Structure 1
Amino acid sequence: MAKRPPNLTYAVDDDPPLPATLLLGLQHVFLIAISLIFPVVIVRSIGGSPEEAEFMVSMSMLAAGVGTVLHALNRRGVGSGYLCPALCGPSFLSASLLAANVGGLHLLFGMTAVAGSFEVLLSRFLHRLRVLFPPEVTGLVVAMVGISVIPTALANFMGRGGADAATEIPELAVALLTLGTMVGISVWSRGRLRLYSVLVGMAMGYLASIHLGILTADHLDLFAEAPLAAVPHLDYFGWSFDVALLLPFMVAITCSSLKTIGDITTCQKINDADWKRTDMKNVSQGILADGLSAVFGGLVGTMGQSTSSSNIGLSIGTGATSRRIAFAIGGILVLLAFLPKLAMVFVVMPEPVMGATLIYSVSFMIVAGFQIIMSRMLDARRTFLVGIPLIMGLSVDALPGLYDGVPPILAPVFSSSLSLAAVLVVLLNLLFRIGISKRVRLVLRPGVDDADSIFNFLERQGSAWGARREVIYRAISATNELFEAVGSAGLAEGDIDLEVSFDEFNLDVVARYRGEPPVLPSRRPDVVDLLGEGPSASLAAFMVTRYANSVRVDTRDGACRVRLHFDH
């Protein structure tokens, strides 16, 4: 069972009061609304009408609402069971623009549904691919999710999210006020005000935007003119398929799946104080929900849906990760799909408010990603495994246009820093596994070798395996004590052969030698024992049992074997 982290006010299985649930859900909806720009961009790229854009925005809210609920379910193998909201996935944007320009919105809808079906199929055997997703891979993906949002976040923060190329003082003032309010409440507030830090910050941003003229009368007119309730036009529904676009959408859904794996890993970590590794069965359920969300999005008439990393960052910042909040988010989004007047509140969100909210949220994602990476030991292989994809991913944003010449079929991979880094880290992980043995040996000579030999050997292997640092150090301590107990008591007639094996769940150290077996007491030696002969060996033998999770000693025909087991 997961251990509840002390920094959470409402953990995943908690039931916040209904008013708190609705308010917490509402501030998540404000953050999700930022992604609604993607459907508008797609419609404008093909010269579509405002009605078509309105239709896609409404359907995007409907699909995001359904997807958010699916992720929170955790029933019949569907959903991770976490607060992991869905929205219009940035990974789909490049392929969606290509489809819309080739065959219109109907082709976009059809290809999105097909891509979602592929993700559903992937979820059925994803749990068997644990080797592809060690912590350094998932950690980098989580960090890149946050890093990839930085250009958008900063552009909006500075009031340059659209065609405006200049930062105005009022825009900067709103951004600083919004972010300052959010951060100030999170850092210095007492009680439960922290839960609503984003909602309070955004409210301050809206009020300041009205006062400083960023939200104008034209924006307010849009709200006034929007109908209170409306049913989407059925004329816009339709689906088509083009086999030539299959590969770009497969690349897009793969990148989206990698991001979702990172997002769910983050959810697992923030909801378990004793988190050790990614639960791939749980991830598979989340990927199934993600695929179903994309299929549903294509069928109702919008682009692909995927998990929202920014919203997960928001849940970290507020300390509220209850899945009940996900149901509130889903309900609000579904209602907004049919209530244009209320949806307009999100559509006219000022750019500085968007930017401040994104900066607040992605700060937590970036730090969480690097925490996951550093939960394991890193050698040269793993340093390059993290460093090269990170550098190449950053090049997409640092050097715009660098990859304009790539073949169109690979454009989704090079379209964002996240997708390029995610694909590279998975490929390099497979490459760098070559030459890593899961079973290694060391010969120890009593009276010649010392603790440094054991330390250097196990630390080097722990780094190569990407093992947890604390487990390797316990193994070093236990092996040192065993060497001391056997060596100082003269139990070994010759060399001690040490064999160490590792997998993601177990670390085993087996010592073989000819001679007498050590006596490993289950209780601490008393003062009389420590003052008698061989106190060092007696204490060392006891410490072996304290460091290892289990110890087994076997003897046969003068050969002794001591097996130390450590849970990983």
Structure 2
Amino acid sequence: MRPPNLIYALDDRPSPSIGTLLGLQHVSIVAIAFVFPVLLVRETGGTTLEASFMVSMSMLAGAVGVVVQALKRGPLGSGYLCPQVCGPSFLTASLLAAHAGGLPLVLGMTMFAGAFEALLSRVLHKLRFLFPAEVTGVIVSMVGITVIAVAGKNFLGFERGGNAIDPSSLTVAMITLLTMIGLNVWSKGNLKLFCILVGMLVGYGAAMTVGLLPVDELTQTLSQPIVWNPFAHHPGWSFDIALTGPFAVAVLCSMLKSVGDLTTCQRINKTNWVRPDMENIRKGVLGDATGCFAAGVFGGMAQSTSSANIGLSIATKATSRTLSLFIGGILALLAFCPKLAAIFAVMPAPVVGATLFFALSFMIVAGVQIMTSRMLDARKTFVIGLSIIAGLLVDVLPEAFTAVPPILQPVFSSSLSACTITAVLLNLIFRIGIKHSVRITISKNDPIGEIITQFMDKQGAAWGARPEIIARASTAVMEYLEALREAYDPNPATVQVSFDELHLKIQILHQGTPLPIPEQRPTPETLLESEKGMTLMGAWMCARLTDNITSTTFNGQAVVKMHWEH
């Protein structure tokens, strides 16, 4: 069902002019991550030409990734608008490769990373237990939290003022952010759609006014060639089996983040979303692997799904998969036109910070919504809390992890990777001791409502079930037991509950025959005149609260089975 709050939903087709402008907004977010390949080349003493080559090839790989990800049919792609960026999860492993064998080794290991992720995607549907809502939700939120440090330094102007706030940078950043927020909250139509693009243009103007975008930088930008052939500068490929470990860990971290990103795409595009569609995510991860592999082939940095771009889609309420064609087309054009690409390269730091703050606000909240879509008990609280603490510990005390073995460095290279691995491991540990089938016996004088509510709430939280399903199930069981008590001199009844993430099943066992389930609601006359009127009403309400209910008698014992899709 089409979400009513979207301006351009998944299957909508915006006009070419609207699509181009929305595509430019997404490309402006993607461009922020081009700092990673530049940093990678600089760290190894590379030339400006090598940096330009790697940025251009990263653009081309991103173009392939966003188009493939939006494919609706076939084995590749989730069918959602989910652009790719140079993956921060791969930075540490890529630096190890660059120091060991230069750019050729980085590209060869990037191809390995794409192939390994493609292999993992084939078995992803069998690993659903690794991705409950609390794990995917905490990863999605942590993506935003991880970038706060980088965004904050740009927002406050630390590059200009050292560790002190630069007033000019802060002013430009505030003007940019307030423009974006104002247009998003209080405007309508195209101004709301293009709130980031307009805000960035205002930010560029403000930066020029206060001297944060010098004229000589713009002149240097315009001096770039209009067209070039980056493939002529390709350095080739090499491979080192010793680096497969660090890159495998980086792939795992990146893939789990992609699972969270694709889950968010499902949630914002489906009004009745209840759980991750693992088959769709499996295809999406394979599409993500395709973009990563393409980066290795072309000569770019490893690619990963972009949480910030999904946040942009939420903010602008435009999730049309058609936009992937515009984004891919713009990125491909920029890959061969350095004069145009350089416009994004000179983006003022405070504009970068403001844009990130705006987009990541939506991403952090999206993660919280995923986490709270399920009931939480002490186990899940520890999974969420300890994972966030482990992630932030890497940022707060980075010196504590400097001596870890090289194979584990990708895990502790960022708060996101540390949080992700911690969440997965804690989820596996805390699954120990959770029974998937439990039972309780209700005696003659027991308070039905109190006992059933406490029992179901406790189990629902342990299983991470949806609150509304547990509420319906609790009420259905209470209605049946209350009606049973009205109808007969009750013997003890046993309630057996089982859960497997996709289904909630309840069996009620008691002596005698099961209550008759009326197909229609009892009439007022039946309620007033029949001794069994209230019993029939309770049984009818019980049936209305379930997705399916059946009853049989076996060896003199009634067996009532209730079922809910989860």
Q: Aligning the two structures, in what range does the TM-score lie when normalised by the shorter sequence?
A: over 0.9
For the 8 Å contact 2:53–2:233, the answer to whether it is kept is no
SS at match of 1:402: helix
Matching of residues 216-365 of structure 1 within 5 Å: 216-232=214-230, 234-365=232-363
Q: Structure 1 CA distance, aligned partners of 2:387 and 2:165?
A: 33
Partner residue in 2 for 1:113? 111
Whichever residue aligns with residue 434 of structure 1, its letter is I
For residue 403 of structure 1, report the CA deviation from its aligned partner.
Answer: 1.4
Distance across 2 between alignment mates of 1:397 and 1:464? 31
**Matched residue type, 2:463:** W
Contact 1:156 1:352 (8 Å CA) reproduced: yes
From 478, 485, 506, the equivalent of 1:509 is 506
Task: Report what 1:437 is aligned to.
Answer: 435
Aligned match of 2:527? 530
| TM-superposition CA deviations, 1:214-252 (whole Å, max 9, x none) | 100221122121011111152433101111111001111
Asked whether the equivalents of residues 77 and 283 of structure 2 are also in contact (C-alpha less than 8 Å), the reply is yes
Of the structure 1 ranges 232-241 and 504-513, higher mean CA displacement relative to structure 2 is found in 232-241
CA separation of 1:461 and 1:12: change in aligned 2, threshold 3 A: same
- 1:61 and 1:448 map into 2 onto residues whose CA distance is 67
Q: Deviations over 1:407-453 (max 9, x none)?
A: 12211100111101111111111111111111111111133342111
- Of residues 141-150 and 511-520 in structure 1, the stretch that sits farther from structure 2 once superposed is 511-520
The structure-2 alpha-carbon separation of the partners of 1:549 and 1:382, relative to structure 1 and needing over 3 Å to count, comes to same
Q: Which residue of 2 aligns with 1:129?
A: 127
1:148–1:417 contact (8 Å) kept in structure 2: yes
Query: What is the rounded CA distance, in whole Å, between the counterparts of 1:26 and 1:449 in structure 2?
Result: 62
**Greater mean alpha carbon deviation, residues 428-437 or residues 227-236:** 227-236
The letter for the 2-side match of 1:184 is: G
Taking the TM superposition and a 5 Å limit, the aligned residue runs for 1:81-92 are 81-92=79-90
Q: Is the 8 A contact 2:173 2:203 kept in 1?
A: yes
Summarize the alignment of residues 385-396 of structure 1 with structure 2, pairs less than 5 Å apart.
385-396=383-394
The 5 A counterparts of 1:161-176 are 161=159, 164-176=162-174
Q: Is the 8 A contact 1:447 1:487 kept in 2?
A: no
- Aligned counterparts of 2:200 and 2:489: Cα–Cα separation in 1: 71
Aligned equivalent of 1:496? 493
Query: What is the identity, as a one-letter code, of the residue corresponding to 2:519?
Result: S
The match for 1:419 is 417
Amino acid at match of 1:101: H
| 3-state SS of paired residue (2:549) | strand
Output the CA distance in 2 between the equivalents of 1:233 and 1:542: 71
Counterpart code for 1:84: C
Aligned partner (choices 520, 537, 555) of residue 553 of structure 2: 555
Deviation per residue, 1:462-514 (Å, 9 max, x gap): 0111000000000000000000111111164x211111111111111111111
**Structure 1's 418 and 161: CA in aligned 2 closer, same or farther, altered over 3 A?**
farther
Contact persistence 2:394–2:415 (CA under 8 A): yes
Deviation at 1:557, TM superposition (A): 3.6
CA contact (8 A) 2:476 2:541 kept: yes
Inter-partner Cα distance in structure 2 for 1:433 and 1:327: 42
Between the aligned partners of 1:82 and 1:434, the Cα distance in structure 2 is: 35
Q: Is the 8 A contact 1:491 1:517 kept in 2?
A: no
From the superposition, tell whether residues 183 and 557 of structure 1 become closer, same or farther in structure 2 (CA, over 3 Å).
same
Corresponding residue of 2:467: 469
Letter in 1 for 2:77: G
Task: Tell me how large the CA RMSD over aligned residues is.
Answer: 1.3
Whole-angstrom distance in 1 between the partners of 2:394 and 2:5: 35
1:519 and 2:516 aligned: yes
Question: Between Structure 1 and Structure 2, how many residues are aligned?
Answer: 565
2:14 corresponding residue in structure 1 = 16
1:372 and 2:362 correspond: no
The one-letter code sitting in structure 2 at the alignment partner of 1:528 is E
8 Å contact 2:139–2:420 — kept in the other structure? yes
Offset at 1:301? Answer: 0.9
**Secondary structure at 1:32 match in 2:** helix
1:162–1:128 Cα change, 3 Å: farther
CA shift at 1:544, angstroms? 0.5
Distance 2:458 2:415 in 1: 32
Match 1:5 to one of 3, 12, 18: 3
Q: Distance in 1 between matches of 2:12 and 2:66?
A: 18
Structure 1: distance between partners of 2:166 and 2:356 = 19
Distance 1:491 1:185 in 2: 66
Task: Note closer, same or farther for the CA distance 1:376–1:185 as it changes in structure 2 (3 Å cut).
Answer: same
User: Does the aligned pair in 1 maintain the 2:160–2:166 contact within 8 Å?
Assistant: no
Work out whether residues 69 and 79 of structure 2, in 8 Å CA contact, stay in contact via their aligned partners in 1.
Answer: yes
Cα distance between partner residues in 2 of 1:29 and 1:315: 12
| Separation of aligned partners in 2, 1:287 and 1:475 | 35
Deviation at 1:163, TM superposition (A): 8.3
Q: Give me the whole-angstrom Cα distance separating, in 2, the residues matched to 1:254 and 1:470.
A: 33
| Residue 166 (structure 1) shift | 3.7
Residue in 1 aligned with 2:76? 78
Please list every run of 5 or more consecutive structure 2 residues that lacks an aligned counterpart in the other structure: none
Deviation sequence 1:162-191 (CA, Å, 0-9, x none): 784443222111100110010001111123
Task: Give the Cα–Cα distance (whole angstroms) in 2 for the partners of residues 422 and 168 of structure 1.
Answer: 34
2:190 match: 192
1:138 to 131, 136, 139: 136
SS at match of 1:22: helix
Q: Could you tell me which residue of structure 2 aligns to residue 564 of structure 1?
A: 562
Q: 1:64 corresponds to which residue?
A: 62
More moved, 506-515 vs 465-474: 506-515
Alpha carbons 1:491, 1:515 under 8 Å: kept: no
Greater Cα shift, 201-210 or 527-536: 527-536
The one-character-per-residue Cα deviations of 1:354-394 (angstroms, maximum 9, x if unpaired) are: 00000000000100001000000011111111111111111
Mark the runs of 5 or more structure 1 residues left unpaired by the alignment: none
Residue 320 of structure 1 deviates from its aligned partner by 0.2
Moved more, 468-477 or 52-61: 52-61
Equivalent residue for 1:179? Answer: 177
Encode CA deviations 1:20-50: one digit per residue, 9 max, x unaligned: 0110000110111000111110111111111
Q: Is the 8 A contact 2:158 2:166 kept in 1?
A: no
2: CA distance, partners of 1:297 / 1:230: 18
* 1-structure distance, mates of 2:547, 2:402: 54
Query: TM-score when scaled to structure 1?
Result: 0.98
User: Does the residue aligned with 1:565 lie in a helix, a strand or coil?
Assistant: strand
Counterparts of 1:220 and 1:105 in 2: how far apart (Å)? 29
